[in-house]
Amino acid sequence: MSKPKPEIKKEVVPMPKQDPEERTRNFNEVAQGYTVEQVVAEAERCLQCVKAPCVQGCPVEVDIPAFIQLIKEKRFAEAIRKVKEKNSLPAICGRVCPQEEQCQASCTMGKIGDPVSIGRLERFVSDWERERGLQITEKPDTTGKRVAIVGAGPAGLTVAANLAKLGHGVMVFEALHKPGGVLIYGIPEFRLPKKIVEAEAEYIKKLGVTMKMNALIGRLYTIGELLDRFDAAFIGTGAGLPRFMRIPGENLCGVYSANEFLIRVNLMKAYDFPRCDTPIFVGEKVAVIGGGNTAMDSTRCALRLGAKEVKIVYRRSRAEMPTRAEEVENAEEEGVVLEFLTNPRRFIGNERGWVKAMECIRMRLGEPDASGRRRPVPIEGSEFTMDVDTVIIAIGRTPNPIIQQTTKGLQVTKWGTIVTDENGKTSIQGVYAGGDIVTGQATVISAMGAGKKAAKAIHEYLMSKK
Partner 1 sequence: MDQILQGLREATNLHEIVTKRELVPQINLFEFSAKETAAKTKPGQFVILRIDENGERIPLTIAGANVEKGTITVVCHEVGKSTKQLGTLKKGDYILDLLGPLGKPAEIEKFGTVLCVGGGVMTAPLHFQAKAFHEAAHKVIGVIGARTESHLIFEDEMRNVCDELYVATDDGTKGYKGLDFLKELLKKTKTDRVIVMGPVVTMKVVSELTRSHGIPTIVNLIPIMVDGMGMCGACRVTVGGKTLFACVDGPDFDGHLVDFEELMSRLKMFTPQEKLAFVLQEERGGNL
Binding site for partner 1 (CB under 8 A): 146, 169, 171, 175-177, 185, 210-216, 219-221, 229, 240-242, 244, 246, 250-251, 253-254, 256-257, 259-260, 263-264, 268-269, 272-281, 352-353, 400-402
Q: State which residue, 67 or 230, has the beta carbon closest to partner 1.
A: 230
Q: How far is the CB of 239 from partner 1 (least distance, A)?
A: 10
In the complex, minimum distance from the CB of residue 172 to partner 1, in angstroms, rounded to a whole number: 11
- Between CA 191 and CA 31 the distance in angstroms is 7
211 contacts 152 by C-beta, under 8 angstroms: yes
Q: How far is the CB of 136 from partner 1 (least distance, A)?
A: 20
Distance of closest approach, residue 441 Cβ to partner 1, in angstroms: 13
Closer by beta carbon to partner 1, 174 or else 320: 174
Smallest separation (angstroms) from partner 1 to the CB of 251 = 6
Which residue, 103 or 183, is less far from partner 1 as judged by CB?
Answer: 183
Listed as own residue / partner, the contacts of 68-76 with beta carbons closer than 8 Å and 24 or more positions apart are 68/43, 68/116, 68/118, 68/121, 69/43, 71/39, 71/40, 71/43, 71/121, 71/124, 71/125, 72/40, 72/43, 72/44, 72/46, 74/36, 74/40, 76/124, 76/125, 76/128, 76/129
Of residues 93 and 148, the one with the C-beta less far from partner 1: 148
Contact 204, 88 (CB under 8 A): yes
Amino acid at 251: N
Q: How far is the CB of 159 from partner 1 (least distance, A)?
A: 18
Number of helices (H), then strands (E), in the chain: 18, 16
CB of 179 to partner 1, least distance (A): 12
Compute the C-alpha angle 180/441/433, nearest 5°: 70
Beta partners for residue 343, in sequence order: 361
- How far apart are CB 212 and partner 1 at their closest, in Å? 5
- Closest to 212 in 3D by CA, of 195, 187, 229: 229
Can you point out the beta strands (E) in 267-381? 285-289, 309-313, 337-339, 342-349, 355-368, 374-378
Closer to partner 1 by CB, 125 or 258: give it.
258
Least separation in angstroms between CB 404 and partner 1: 12
CB of 260 to partner 1, least distance (A): 4
- C-alpha dist (Å) from residue 431 to 64, 173, 223, 230: 32, 15, 8, 10
Which residue lies nearer to partner 1 by CB, 15 or 247? 247
The residue (of 28 and 210) whose beta carbon lies closer to partner 1 is 210
Q: Which helix (H) or strand (E) holds 217?
A: none
Peptide bond into 20 cis (omega under 30): no
For partner 1, give the closer residue by CB, 44 or 250: 250
Cα(369)–Cα(89) distance, integer angstroms: 35
Report d(CA 322, CA 232) in Å as an integer: 36
Q: Output 16 or 279, the one with its CB closest to partner 1.
A: 279
Question: What's the rounded Cα separation, in Å, for the pair 360 and 382?
Answer: 8
Q: Which of 47, 43, 91, 51 is nearest to 67 (CA)?
A: 43
Q: Which is nearer to partner 1, 49 or 354 (CB)?
A: 354
Residue 126 or 257: the one with the smaller Cβ distance to partner 1 is 257
CA 389 – CA 211 distance, rounded (Å): 41
By C-alpha distance, which of 347, 177, 194 is closest to 256? 347
Closest approach of partner 1 to the CB of residue 180, in Å: 14
